[in-house]
């Protein structure tokens, strides 16, 4: 069995779900990341930015768009000294403007993923994976990036069966 890390960015508070802005006590991606950890027995790493995003959903989308345009790398509160003990990294994120939030790229830039397997998953409200897989491959030369799973944010609480099938189909031994 491989040793795995589940690194994820998730946003609590105001989020767009099912056509409405709702206040989430736990972000959708965090819900899925915890499912992945329960299925795989892997270690969880929540990626938290030093500077929090605005509470207002619409303001956050504008900050996220500006970060994407400038290719910003927001500082992360805590990053492990290394990830060499992990063979597989499940990478979770909400789809922001067609790709992971720039904080996820801060994490990817911090380590050498050559020889590792990256398994992306995202939450969204209609945009699927967008160009996330391509962007992750570009950021992690030498890594094996498996096809990701996109889960509609409004359906995360009922997604465990799909998660199990997806993880089993990856053939990673979990």
pLDDT tens for 107-150 read: 999 999 999 999 999 999 999 999 999 999 999 999 999 999 99
Residue ranges of the chain whose pLDDT lies below 70: 1-2
**Which CATH code is given to the segment(s) 4-169?**
3.40.50.360
Residues 6+ apart with CB under 8 A from 138: none
Rg of the chain (C-alpha set): 15
pLDDT reported for residue 2: 55
pLDDT reported for residue 87: 95
**In the chain, where the domains are located:** 4-169
- 158 close to 113: Cβ distance less than 8 angstroms: no
Helix/strand/coil percent split, the chain, to 5 = 35, 25, 40
pLDDT reported for residue 3: 82
- 14 close to 96: Cβ distance less than 8 angstroms: no
């Amino acid at each position: 069995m491989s040793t795995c890390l589940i690194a994820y960015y998730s946003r609590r508070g105001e989020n767009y779900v099912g056509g409405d802005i709702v206040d989430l006590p736990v972000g959708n991606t965090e819900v899925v990341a915890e499912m992945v950890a329960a299925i795989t027995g892997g270690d969880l790493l929540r990626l938290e930015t030093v500077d929090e995003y605005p509470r207002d959903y619409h303001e956050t989308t504008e900050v996220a768009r500006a970060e994407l345009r400038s290719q910003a790398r927001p500082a992360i509160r805590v990053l492990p000294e290394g990830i060499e003990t992990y063979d597989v990294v499940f990478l979770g994120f909400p789809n922001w403007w067609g790709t992971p939030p720039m904080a996820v790229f801060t994490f990817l830039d911090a380590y050498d993923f050559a020889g590792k397997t990256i398994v992306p998953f995202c939450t969204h409200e209609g945009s699927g994976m967008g160009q996330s897989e391509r962007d992750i491959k570009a950021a992690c030369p030498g890594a094996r990036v498996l096809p990701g799973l996109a889960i509609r944010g409004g359906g995360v609480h009922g997604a465990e069966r799909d998660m199990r099938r997806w993880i089993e189909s990856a053939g990673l031994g979990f």
